[in-house]
Amino acid sequence: MFFGERIRQLREEKGLLQRQLAASLEMDTPMFSKIERGERKAKRDQVFLLAKLLSVPSEELLALWLAGQVYEIVKDEKVALNAMHIAEARLKLPVKPKYKTNNG
């Protein structure tokens, strides 16, 4: 399920029109349509606003939104999964402290 698809699904469940959500996000309807179809990407702030307007946890939409960007980078690559695993491993690494502490 892509970000835009999910937005549309939620919007329709609530019986809202594109122009209503578009207005809440202070953009025009064509723009909102593009976001739903994945032709444009929403801004980070708009993800949170949409979560509120559509009554879902912002984490759900944020994860979909990020996933979409990640997917765009690797989608046509033979080493896609490989790259993903490397990135995941890096995420799991403890953060190296920048400065020494007394007991560090």
Nearest CB to DNA, comparing residues 28 and 85: 28
Residues interacting with DNA, by CB under 7 A? 17-19, 26-31, 33-34, 36-37, 39-41, 43
Q: Site for a second copy (CB under 8 A): which residue of 5, 19, 43, 71?
A: 71
Partner from a second copy, DNA, none binding residue 100, C-beta < 5-8 Å depending on class? none
| Region label for 21, one of left (φ > 0), alpha (ψ between -120 and 50) or beta (otherwise) | alpha
- DSSP per residue over 44-93, as a string? HHHHHHHHHHTTS-HHHHHHHHHHHHHHHHHTT-TTHHHHHHHHHHHHHS
CB of 56 to DNA, least distance (A): 19
**Vertex 67, ends 98 and 88: CA angle to 5°?**
45
The residues that touch a second copy, with contacts defined as CB under 8 A, are: 2, 59, 62-64, 66-71, 73-75, 77-84, 86-88, 90-92
